[in-house]
Amino acid sequence: MKKLLFVLALFTALGASAQNMRLNAYALYAFDDAVDSYYSNTSYFDGKIKGGLLWGGGLEFMVHPEYGVELTYLRMDTKAPVTYYSNQPPAGVKNNTFDLAINYAMIGGNRYKALGDVAEVFGGMQLGAAFVKATRPASGSLIGESSENATKFAWAVRGGANLFPGGKASKVGIKLTLGLISMVQGAGGGLYFGTGGAGAGISTYSSILQFNMGGGLVFKFGK
pLDDT per position as a tens digit, 81-125? 888 776 666 677 777 888 889 999 999 999 999 998 899 999 999
C-alpha dihedral sign at 71, 185, 103, 51 = positive
Q: Which residue type, as a one-letter code, is found at position 219?
A: F
Helix/strand number for the chain, H first, E second: 1, 10
- The alpha-carbon radius of gyration of the chain (Å, integer) is 21
Report the pLDDT value the prediction gives residue 223, as an integer from 0 to 100.
66
Distance CA 125, CA 70 (A): 10
Report the pLDDT value the prediction gives residue 141, as an integer from 0 to 100.
44
Asked whether the predicted pLDDT for residue 8 surpasses 50, the reply is no
CB-count burial class (<10 Å; 0-12, 13-18, 19+) for 172: exposed
Report the pLDDT value the prediction gives residue 103, as an integer from 0 to 100.
96
Report the pLDDT value the prediction gives residue 140, as an integer from 0 to 100.
53
Residue count (the chain): 223
User: What are the angstrom distances between the C-alpha of 185 and each of 53, 83, 103, 110, 192?
Assistant: 22, 18, 15, 26, 11
Task: Please tell me the pTM assigned to this model.
Answer: 0.80
Q: How confident is the model at residue 203 (pLDDT cuts 50, 70, 90)?
A: very low
Q: Please give the residue that has the higher pLDDT: either 149 or 127.
A: 127
Residues near 96 by beta carbon (within 8 Å), at least 6 away in sequence: 81, 82, 84, 136, 139, 193
Average pLDDT over the chain, rounded to an integer: 80
Q: What is the mean pLDDT of residues 123-136?
A: 91
